[in-house]
Structure 1
Amino acid sequence: MADRPVRRLRFVVPAVLLALIVIGATVVVVRWPSVAALACPECYGLQALQPEVYGERDLPPEPRDKIIRVTAEARTKITDFYGTPVSRPRILACTSADCYRRIGGGPEAGVAIMNRGLMLSPRGVDAVIAAHELSHVEFRQRAGGAAVPQWFDEGLAVLVSGDERYLKPADAADRCRVAPDGPLPETLGDWLAAASADEQTYARAACAVDRWARSRGGPAAINALADRLAAGASFRDATR
C-alpha cells in the first residue's frame, strides 16, 4: 500500500511538467510572438533561404533574391566595421505586412531581438536597415549584454550601417550632419519619445558616437569598449 503514492507520483509529476511546458509555450506565443518566431520560423510560414536567413514560403525569385542580397550586404558591413563577427543572429525578413504582423512586428522598419536575431519589415529589407539591426546584436554579443545608453547603441548602429540620412559619407573630414546640442536620451522610453518627435535624434547620436570613436582610433575603439564592458566596467568608466 505504501508504494501506491510513489507509483502515482511517477505519472503525476511528468504530467504536471508537461502541462507547465505547454502553458509556458502558449504564453510566449501569445505575448512574445517575435521570440516564438525566431525559435520556429517554419511555424510562422517562413522557410530558410540561406543559413539563418528566413523569408516567406514559396517566394518568387525576385523578392527571394533581394532578401539574400540585402542580408549578405548587411553582413559585409558588420564584418568591415567589427572584423569577424562573434554573433550569428537569425534573420526573419518579410515582404508583406501580413507576414510582419504575424511574427510580432509593429510600425518599425526592423527590430533586433536581444542578441538572438532580428526581424525586417517589407520596407526594412534594405542593406542599411538590416546592418543597423545586426549592429545592435553584434555589439550586445561583444559587450556580454552589458547595458549602454540608448543613444550610444542607436548612434553606433547608424555609424556601422553607414546610414547617410544621418551621417555624411565615410571620407568626410567630419561626418556629422547634426551635432548634439544637449544630453541625449539614455533610456529606451526616452529614446523612442525623442526620436518620434525628431528623427534627427539619430543624427545627433551618430555624430556623438562617430566623434568619440574617431578621437580614439576608429572602429578598434568600439571593440575595445565592448571588451571593457564585457569585463564588468561601467559605460562611464569604459568610455573615459
Structure 2
Amino acid sequence: MKIWARVLAGVGVLVAAGVVVAVQAYPSVAATACPGCYDLAEAAPGVYVEEGQDGARAVEVARVARERVRGFYGSLVSSPRLLVCVTDACYRRIGGGGERGIAVMNQAVMLSPRGIDPVIASHEMSHVELHARGGKVPQWFDEGLAVVVSDDRRYLAAPDPADPSGLTAQGSRDRCLVRTAGPLPDRLDGWLRAASADRQVYAKAACRTNQWLVANGGRDGLLRSLGR
C-alpha cells in the first residue's frame, strides 16, 4: 500500500507540474478555461471583461458581432467566449501579442484594447463558426471569408446597393480592392509570414474569396459546400 501511495503521490505531482507548465506556456488556453483566474469578470453570458472596467461597450460589441456572423450563416452553431482586455497589461497576461484580436482553439475570441470593435470581433468569430461547421479550407479562404463576414471596408469595397446588408447574395457585385493572380498561403504558418510582409494580403484574400462566392452561389453555395 505504501508503494502505491507513493506512486499516486508522484503522479499527482507530475499532473500538477504539467498544469503549471501548460498555464505558463499557453495562458490564452488557460484564460479561456478560467477567465476569473486572469482577472476577467463576466459582464454578460459568455462575455468576460477586465476586472474594474466598464463592460457595456464589450457587451454591445459582442451582440453586434454575433448578429453579423449569424446574418451571414443564417444561424450559429458556435458560441465562443469573448475575453476583452481594456489595457495592454491585461492582454499580455492572457497571452495576447500585437494583434487586435485572435481566436483561441475554436473556443474563445480574445480582443485587445485596439480590437474592441464589431468588425474585429466578428472576423474572429467567423473563424470559429466556420471551423465549428467542419470547414476545412485553405488559410487564405478562411481569412478572406472572415473579411467578407465582418464586412471589413479596409479590405473590401461596399456591397451592392440593392443588397445593402451584403449578407444575402454575398457576391452580388465584385467587391475587390486589390487583385492578384499569384498564389496565396494555404497554411497558417505561411499566412502569418505573408501577413507580416504584405499589408495587402488580407485584401487579396478577401478579393479571391469574394470571387469564389460570386462564382459559386454566394452564401448559399458556401453552406452547401460545407454540408458536403
The code of the aligned residue for 2:181 comes to: D
The code of the aligned residue for 1:45 comes to: D
Q: How far 1:9 sits from its partner (Å)?
A: 4.3
Q: Tell me the equivalent position of 1:75.
A: 66
Aligned partners of 1:156 and 1:206 also within 8 Å: yes
User: What SS class does the counterpart of residue 111 from structure 1 fall into?
Assistant: strand
Q: Tell me the equivalent position of 1:225.
A: 225
Q: How far 1:18 sits from its partner (Å)?
A: 1.8
Equivalent residues, number: 217
Q: TM-score, normalised by structure 2?
A: 0.90
CA distance in 2, matches of 1:171, 1:199: 26
Q: Tell me the equivalent position of 2:84.
A: 93
Q: What aligned pairs does 1:193-232 form with structure 2 within 5 A after superposition? A: 193-228=193-228
User: What SS class does the counterpart of residue 106 from structure 1 fall into?
Assistant: coil
Q: How far 1:10 sits from its partner (Å)?
A: 4.3
The code of the aligned residue for 1:8 comes to: K
The code of the aligned residue for 2:24 comes to: V
2:128 to 118, 137, 141: 137
Q: Tell me the equivalent position of 1:14.
A: 8
Q: TM-score, normalised by structure 1?
A: 0.86
Q: Tell me the equivalent position of 1:149.
A: 138
The code of the aligned residue for 2:102 comes to: V
Question: Mean alpha-carbon deviation: is it higher for 96-105 or for 190-199?
Answer: 190-199
Q: What aligned pairs does 1:4-83 form with structure 2 within 5 A after superposition? A: 7-60=1-54, 64-83=55-74
CA distance in 2, matches of 1:161, 1:140: 16
Shift in alpha-carbon separation, 1:225–1:12, aligned structure 2, 3 A: farther
The code of the aligned residue for 1:220 comes to: D
The code of the aligned residue for 1:28 comes to: A
User: What SS class does the counterpart of residue 84 from structure 1 fall into?
Assistant: coil
Shift in alpha-carbon separation, 1:223–1:20, aligned structure 2, 3 A: farther
Aligned partners of 1:111 and 1:118 also within 8 Å: yes
Aligned partners of 1:194 and 1:201 also within 8 Å: yes
The code of the aligned residue for 1:58 comes to: G
CA distance in 1, matches of 2:90, 2:141: 31
Q: Tell me the equivalent position of 2:190.
A: 190
1:171-229, CA deviations, whole angstroms, 9 ceiling, x for partnerless residues? 1621111122311111222212222222211111011111111222111222222233x
The code of the aligned residue for 2:2 comes to: R
CA distance in 1, matches of 2:138, 2:44: 33
The code of the aligned residue for 2:151 comes to: G
Q: Which runs of 5+ in 2 are unaligned?
A: 162-172
Q: Which runs of 5+ in 1 are unaligned?
A: 1-6, 229-240
Which contiguous aligned blocks of 4+ residues in structure 1 show a shift greater than 6 angstroms?
none
Q: What aligned pairs does 1:119-138 form with structure 2 within 5 A after superposition? A: 119-138=110-129
Question: Mean alpha-carbon deviation: is it higher for 17-26 or for 112-121?
Answer: 17-26
2:102 to 99, 111, 120: 111
1:65-124, CA deviations, whole angstroms, 9 ceiling, x for partnerless residues? 110111111000110001211111111010100000000000000011121111100011
CA distance in 2, matches of 1:170, 1:19: 58
Q: How far 1:150 sits from its partner (Å)?
A: 1.2
